[in-house]
Amino acid sequence: MMAGNDRAADNVPAQRPMKPRSIVAAASGNVLEWYDFTVYGFLAPVIGRVFFPETSHFAAILSAFAVLAVGYGVRPIGSIIFGHIGDRLGRKPTLIMTVLIMGAGSLGIALLPSYQQIGIAAAVLLVAIRIIQGIAIAGEYPASGVYIVEQADPKRRALTGSWVAVAMILGCVLGASVPALIATLLTEAQMASWGWRVAFLFGTGVAIFSVFMRRHLKESAAMDGVERTGPSPVSQTLRNHWRLLIQMVVLLIPPAILYMLIFVYAASHLTDKMHVSSARALDITSFNLLAMAAILPFYGWLADRLGLRWTYLLGAAATGVFAVPLWTMMFSENLTVVFLGQFLFSLISGVAWALSITVLTMMSPPRLRCSSVAMGYNLSMATFGGATPFLATYLVSRTGDDFTPVYYLMIGVLISLPVIWRLPKLFARAEKG
């Protein structure tokens, strides 16, 4: 065990060190996952008008965000399905299946008829596609992250795990830049008519690339000697480690809320309330996502030296302390100030994203790793991630206070602090199984 008892401990054997190509292959599905949901979030105003009866502009946007929340709401179901597959059949089959389903969903949305063409069936089909995608997405991040962390060099485990988050953020960058490029090349009428569909077709291409890369992966060394019979890993996790699942959920509350607030809800606010062009809003967001991606490996490197607990705690504390002033900046009338507010928020939130998959893997019993990480992660994303844009829109509408969402964030930070402090004990407990 390393000094301080909270660094990337040795309860994850690194028997087959990963080559860079394997890391890229394993992480590539996260690019698609976050590309897809970022595109959906940024195009929510257009999607609302295309697939829902526009009784009011607000109702259409709220409906689009509600569908986003539904996709996240079914993630616990996906975590049960793919957690079992990952722990029993292997990490590689999970990685292939999830990316194929996600890619098919992107293609389905791109080809889906509008409300004007088939009526309410358009909204029903959109919800169905998002549900299927949500189930598949639930297995992607846990399986790929566990696969990478399990085989990382113990002395560089947090750094290696941070590349999963880099892939996620790069997916977000693509999700912001592709619609921005399309919006630049097309008129607003063309964008609303068919241009938005091109963005989802691009996601299908990402899925094809990921499948091509992943077909050469070797199975994780952690699967050697794993029992294929007996009680389901999911049932074992729910029965014997339910407290661990609650702690995982709590740990992820701040990054889940913060990401949705600064990159989905705030982007919609810029275009809808401040009348900033979609292309300009996406340019700002793309730059800040790139800045966030660039600093993630540094946070991983730092955690391998200072310890996971202290580095994670620093990020959480910074989020709580600077939340209100940075949110004030993001609601300034000056676009430069808005940019700086989002930029600083991005740097702060990057700490938790860089370390989260390593922390979740280290907290989990080896035999149940995919199941526990999948359920803990997806329960948090479903409860505090996907619902955030909808909840923030609703709260601000009801209270008239633009700061209501940031108060919600600060409560989440306070709740997570005790779990962060206990990380060394959780790692030690996982080592004992």
> Is residue 223 domain-resident?
no
Summarised one tens digit per residue, pLDDT across range 318-368 is 999 999 999 999 888 888 888 899 999 999 999 999 999 999 999 998 888
CA angle 201, 21, 351 (to 5 degrees): 80
Q: Is the pLDDT at 1 greater than 60, yes or no?
A: no
Q: What is the largest CA-CA distance in the chain?
A: 63
What is the domain-level CATH number for residue 44?
1.20.1250.20
Lowest mean pLDDT among 59-73, 103-117, 397-411: 59-73
Tell me the C-alpha to C-alpha distance, in Å, between residue 357 and each of 3, 293, 422: 21, 15, 17
Tell me the C-alpha to C-alpha distance, in Å, between residue 288 and each of 26, 142, 295, 314: 25, 25, 11, 20
pLDDT of residue 384: 85
> Is residue 244 domain-resident?
yes
> Is residue 119 domain-resident?
yes
Asked if 302 and 161 count as a contact pair (C-beta separation under 8 A), the reply is no
Asked if 144 and 164 count as a contact pair (C-beta separation under 8 A), the reply is yes
Lowest mean pLDDT among 41-50, 97-106, 225-234, 300-309: 225-234
Six-digit token string for 65: 């965000």
Average pLDDT, the chain: 84
**Would you place residue 225 in the very low, low, confident or very high pLDDT band (cuts 50, 70, 90)?**
low
In whole angstroms, what is the distance from residue 201 CA to residue 196 CA? 9
pLDDT of residue 4: 44
**Would you place residue 245 in the very low, low, confident or very high pLDDT band (cuts 50, 70, 90)?**
very high
Q: Is the pLDDT at 8 greater than 60, yes or no?
A: no
Summarised one tens digit per residue, pLDDT across range 265-291 is 876 767 666 666 666 776 787 888 899
> Is residue 42 domain-resident?
yes
In whole angstroms, what is the distance from residue 254 CA to residue 274 CA? 26
CA dihedral defined by 331, 37, 88, 241, rounded to 10 degrees? 20
**CA torsion sign, 151 to 157 to 163 to 169?**
positive
Domain count, the chain: 1
Q: pTM for the full model? A: 0.82
| Mean pLDDT along residues 366-389 | 85
Nearest residue to 33 (alpha-carbon basis) of 214, 158, 167: 167
Share of the chain above pLDDT 90, in %: 30
**Would you place residue 3 in the very low, low, confident or very high pLDDT band (cuts 50, 70, 90)?**
very low
Lowest mean pLDDT among 163-177, 220-234, 242-256, 312-326: 220-234
Summarised one tens digit per residue, pLDDT across range 168-215 is 889 888 887 888 788 888 887 888 888 889 999 998 998 998 888 888
**Would you place residue 12 in the very low, low, confident or very high pLDDT band (cuts 50, 70, 90)?**
low
pLDDT of residue 373: 92
Asked if 262 and 330 count as a contact pair (C-beta separation under 8 A), the reply is yes
User: What would the DSSP string read from start to end of 94-155?
Assistant: HHHHHHHHHHHHHHHHHH---HHHHTHHHHHHHHHHHHHHHHHHHHHHHHHHHHHHHTS-GG
**Would you place residue 420 in the very low, low, confident or very high pLDDT band (cuts 50, 70, 90)?**
very high
Query: How many residues would you count in the chain?
Result: 433
> Is residue 1 domain-resident?
no
| Mean pLDDT along residues 381-391 | 81
> Is residue 269 domain-resident?
yes
> Is residue 107 domain-resident?
yes
In whole angstroms, what is the distance from residue 64 CA to residue 61 CA? 5
Summarised one tens digit per residue, pLDDT across range 23-38 is 888 888 888 888 887 7
pLDDT of residue 216: 82
> Is residue 366 domain-resident?
yes
In whole angstroms, what is the distance from residue 47 CA to residue 60 CA? 8
**Running DSSP on this structure, what letter comes out for residue 217?**
P
pLDDT of residue 272: 66
Nearest residue to 386 (alpha-carbon basis) of 147, 29, 78, 55: 78
| Mean pLDDT along residues 8-19 | 56
In whole angstroms, what is the distance from residue 38 CA to residue 42 CA? 6
In whole angstroms, what is the distance from residue 379 CA to residue 385 CA? 9
CA angle 239, 361, 203 (to 5 degrees): 105
Summarised one tens digit per residue, pLDDT across range 113-146 is 988 888 888 888 888 888 888 888 888 888 899 9
| Mean pLDDT along residues 237-252 | 92
**CA torsion sign, 279 to 283 to 284 to 290?**
positive
3 state SS of 270 = helix
Tell me the residue range of the domain where 52 lies: 18-215+232-431
pLDDT of residue 14: 46
Tell me the C-alpha to C-alpha distance, in Å, between residue 194 and each of 178, 188, 264, 419: 14, 10, 22, 46
